[in-house]
């Protein structure tokens, strides 16, 4: 009886399996890749821990960053001062947390802000083309060849009179050009897609097409750029503050702490080691998250890394 039953058609079986399988969205696919990436977990746990420490780290500490302990000036780490004190009795632990807060705020604002500028400028240049494209590309190329460090030095007297918030816009203003070129190239290919042509044929205005169709399709690149930009912005701010062109006293950042402790790195290493270790850990954690996110969106960018 069984021998008389017709054998199932292989093509029909494959078709049934394909149609029965639920389509996997791009977001779920990216999240699945992230969950299987060890460096993503290392980076996100490290970054989360450093943010929580920056928020709540002063709670168990008895000293404010402006307090002076005249009886323990230049003392090494102890139960009273966990990271030691400076030459005038400042608590290095409290100053490190306050400096970390300032650096984190700058990094977490500069990265997304620069990505937004890159997305808008690149999408406008790539979609409109013509003289819009030529002018925007000329501006991007000009900003890329300008020595940004020298401009920061020249503008530092002006920013000394302003709030440190001005440094956020300055760093974001020089951190969007490369990604803008990438977004421009992606947009030039997107504008020839059928759904963009259909929107134009239906009379949808240019800015609506860019907002609803172009930017969502390049959002993964912008998210990666914003994530990687956080670590880069923290490092840039620290460098500027280290050389005296960024955060100015009485404000504190990791850069000002490193600048204050570099001369005593050999004799009183706690003045330099603790801020430097926190800086390396923060930038490394943010870079690991951005690197894992980039590989999850584009698996060909990091083949056989893990």
**What is the reported pTM?**
0.81
pLDDT at 275 exceeding the cut of 70:
yes
Over residues 236-251, the mean pLDDT reads 82
Tokens 């409109």 appear where? 128
* pLDDT tens digits for range 51-89: 999 999 888 888 888 888 888 888 888 888 889 888 888
Q: Indicate the average pLDDT of the chain.
A: 83
Looking at residue 90, what DSSP letter applies? B
Question: What pLDDT, on a 0 to 100 scale, did the predictor assign at position 35?
Answer: 85
Backbone angles phi and psi of 45, in degrees to 5: -70, -45
CA distance 53 to 37: 25
Looking at residue 214, what DSSP letter applies? I
* pLDDT tens digits for range 171-217: 888 889 999 999 999 998 888 888 888 888 888 888 888 888 888 88
Question: What pLDDT, on a 0 to 100 scale, did the predictor assign at position 13?
Answer: 42
Q: What angle do CA 297, 110, 118 make, to 5 degrees?
A: 55
45: CB partners within 8 A, 6+ apart: none
Is the distance from CB of 232 to CB of 175 less than 8 angstroms? yes
Neighbours of 231 (CB within 10 A): 23
Angle between helices 38-56 and 270-297 (to 10 degrees): 140
Over residues 114-119, the mean pLDDT reads 93
pLDDT at 266 exceeding the cut of 50:
yes
Question: What pLDDT, on a 0 to 100 scale, did the predictor assign at position 159?
Answer: 66
Question: What pLDDT, on a 0 to 100 scale, did the predictor assign at position 145?
Answer: 83
Continuous H helices in the chain: 10-20, 26-35, 38-56, 92-128, 130-145, 148-160, 165-173, 177-190, 194-201, 206-209, 215-217, 219-242, 254-261, 270-297
- Number of H helices and number of E strands within the chain? 14, 0
CA distance 31 to 254: 33
Q: Measuring CA to CA, which residue among 90, 63, 98, 95 is closest to residue 74?
A: 90
Is the distance from CB of 256 to CB of 238 less than 8 angstroms? no
What sign does the CA torsion over 225, 228, 234, 239 have?
A: negative
Q: In the CATH hierarchy, which top-level class contains the domain 48-299?
A: mainly alpha
Domain ranges of the chain: 48-299
Name the token pair of 248.
């100015």
Question: What pLDDT, on a 0 to 100 scale, did the predictor assign at position 42?
Answer: 93
* pLDDT tens digits for range 149-171: 777 777 777 766 667 788 888 88
Question: What pLDDT, on a 0 to 100 scale, did the predictor assign at position 276?
Answer: 92
Q: What angle do CA 177, 233, 148 make, to 5 degrees?
A: 50
């Amino acid at each position: 009886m069984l021998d008389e039953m017709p054998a199932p058609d292989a093509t029909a079986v494959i078709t049934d399996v394909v149609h029965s399988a639920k389509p996997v969205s791009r977001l779920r696919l990216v999240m699945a890749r992230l969950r299987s990436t060890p460096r993503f977990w290392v980076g996100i746990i490290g970054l989360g821990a450093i943010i929580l420490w920056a928020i709540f780290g002063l709670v168990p500490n008895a000293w404010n960053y402006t307090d002076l302990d005249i009886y323990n000036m230049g003392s090494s780490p102890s139960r009273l001062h966990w990271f030691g004190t400076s030459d005038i009795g400042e608590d290095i632990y409290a100053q490190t947390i306050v400096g970390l807060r300032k650096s984190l705020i700058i990094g977490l604002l500069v990265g997304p802000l620069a990505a937004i500028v890159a997305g808008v400028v690149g999408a406008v240049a790539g979609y409109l083309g013509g003289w819009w494209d030529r002018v925007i590309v000329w501006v991007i190329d000009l900003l890329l060849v300008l020595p940004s460090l020298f401009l920061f030095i020249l503008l530092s007297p002006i920013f000394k009179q302003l709030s440190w918030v001005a440094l956020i816009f300055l760093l974001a203003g020089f951190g969007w050009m490369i990604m803008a070129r990438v977004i421009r190239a992606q947009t030039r290919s997107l504008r020839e897609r059928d759904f963009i042509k259909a929107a134009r044929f239906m009379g949808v205005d240019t800015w609506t097409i860019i907002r609803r169709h172009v930017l969502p399709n390049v959002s993964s690149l912008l998210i990666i750029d914003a994530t990687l930009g956080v670590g880069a912005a923290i490092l840039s701010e620290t460098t500027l503050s280290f050389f005296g062109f960024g955060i100015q006293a009485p404000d504190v950042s990791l850069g000002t702490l490193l600048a204050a402790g570099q001369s005593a790195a050999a004799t009183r290493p706690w003045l330099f080691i603790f801020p430097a270790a926190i800086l390396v850990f923060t930038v490394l954690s943010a870079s690991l998250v951005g690197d894992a996110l980039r590989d999850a969106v584009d698996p060909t960018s990091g083949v056989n890394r893990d």
